[in-house]
Structure 1
């Protein structure tokens, strides 16, 4: 209904933002993520992804979307919540401890070495790629917030963003990879993976993120990012037979506490703004009466 009532027209600034959304989200964000994942591991990439809320907070403050006043409890809660959630997610990856829940009596060698520390050149290069990818995704969320205010049509904006990302990714791939075999798709995971990525990640996910950002802002939306590490741990328990370790349980509790602290800080900040607005209105009315 909101989209049907949208009277905004697509202008040059909006098309410019759509171009950069495709560049930040698809080309830099996802491509560098896959490249970094190739040189590291899913566990390491999952832990490092919890930098996104912290980076988003920093970018939001620099863009004046968020205010951090250290003297206020709301700002202290947001900072503390971000740090605690990141620490909890990192703990889940780097520390296992004893196995509390296990559906199998033995684990694969790959699972046992999932918290391995990377020191070789390829892993350092992969870590840098992941870092740039997460910075790009954080910038993507900030620009997405700006653009949805300029053009309040989430479905259309999502479609344009996906189209921009597709065109830019195709051009980049054609330049970097000339092999025809790289473009060949078979009736297996090589076909399922792109379809899933296009429909779920770039279609449904980007649309839902746009709605959340439009209502609550980029910091609120990215505050839920650390929950992905918890979901990965639970999914691995039931689908892959990975054990649930003591470190994972403690880390999950820290993530939940950090998430709660961040959301509490956002809610308190909203209440403080409403209180200030109410006092301002009352002060204006008193002056008019005098």
Structure 2
């Protein structure tokens, strides 16, 4: 009897362990995405502080990509050293343009826009990236648009709503909804102009251009990874290309040798965080999530970073939340989810059509 009870307990313990492992495997992609968006939120705040401390945006791009090259090269050695894919001239050409789009245009314009706006606005406008990517994919004939289908209608509606939100955030400030300023400074904030000043509008436009460049980056990356199916190695090569190209840009536009000096403060933390945490850890975790759930799944978590940035900006930087930003960010997020729903709807329709075709062919046979 004692042996039977011990066996039953052993079986129950093994069953419980298997169930816990299954639950953990199911939760992994969610944990990866949530952690990644916290990292992205920290990236916006740390970059903003470094820029306010006087760090050159051009130098920040160079050092960030340099640390990113080292971090991703280590990951590539650990996980992709058995990669047999050969690097051809077309792949090198694409790597060059990926460095140009990602580092020279994408990151430099992002930092330029961040200098003139707030991390909350930068993160909220970042939710336009899937919408911009969809438009570019449509122009490149990588996506099809059938107006009669509900999925396509949802994507069009989502695109319009998202851009309406972006326009509102770019032009309209409104009253301060939440502010942690003192009473005198709060009165100053409340009595500020309802519409953004020229610098803020310029910064928002720069951010929009940055995300457009990053959308083009994702389109080219999708095409390149089909030719060179080693994502971590490709990321490392892209960071290396971005390092060289941004170093040339920095040498032309920033002639001060003091700009390149790193101290034991935020000027060292910002590029290390950008290179190691964002290009290394976060991108790797997102790849693991994409393998299990697909790219649409990780995109759905983007608004989480926006909320995190708004909260962190409020408490760390003392940035007030304005009505225009809240309404604009809400519209962008609604537009994002409409676009994602439309894309998922189209996938389901295609799968059901393929199933019907297969069943009809079986019946004919």
Q: TM bucket by the smaller chain? A: 0.7 to 0.9
CA RMSD of aligned residues (A): 3.6
Could you give the per-residue CA deviations for residues 128-176 of structure 1, whole angstroms, max 9, x where no partner exists?
Answer: 5434322211100111111122222121111111111112111221233
The aligned runs of 1:15-34 (5 Å cut-off) are: 15-34=92-111
Instruction: Say which SS state the counterpart of residue 33 (structure 1) adopts.
Output: helix
Given the two structures, how large is their TM-score scaled by the length of structure 2? 0.64
Selected match of 2:250 from 160, 169, 173: 173
CA separation in 1, counterparts of 2:137 and 2:298?
Answer: 12
Instruction: Say which SS state the counterpart of residue 143 (structure 2) adopts.
Output: coil
- Assess if the C-alpha contact under 8 Å between 1:56 and 1:222 holds in 2: no
The aligned runs of 1:1-290 (5 Å cut-off) are: 3=80, 6-38=83-115, 40-42=116-118, 45-46=122-123, 48-88=125-165, 94-97=172-175, 99=177, 106=183, 108=185, 116-119=195-198, 126=203, 128-208=205-285, 216=294, 225=302, 227-240=304-317, 253-287=330-364, 289=365
Cα 1:137/1:265, change in 2 over 3 Å = same
Could you give the per-residue CA deviations for residues 212-243 of structure 1, whole angstroms, max 9, x where no partner exists?
Answer: 677745x7765655554333223234444556
More helix by share: 2
- Assess if the C-alpha contact under 8 Å between 2:175 and 2:194 holds in 1: no
Please tell me whether Structure 1 or Structure 2 has the larger radius of gyration of its CA atoms.
2
Task: Report the CA distance between 1:6 and its aligned residue.
Answer: 4.6
Number of equivalenced pairs: 283
Where do 5+ consecutive residues of structure 2 fail to align?
Answer: 1-77
CA separation in 2, counterparts of 1:207 and 1:172?
Answer: 28
Given the two structures, how large is their TM-score scaled by the length of structure 1? 0.78
- Assess if the C-alpha contact under 8 Å between 1:107 and 1:242 holds in 2: no
Task: Report the CA distance between 1:55 and its aligned residue.
Answer: 2.0
Stretch deviating more after TM superposition (252-261 or 159-168)? 252-261
- Assess if the C-alpha contact under 8 Å between 2:176 and 2:320 holds in 1: no
Task: Report the CA distance between 1:188 and its aligned residue.
Answer: 1.5
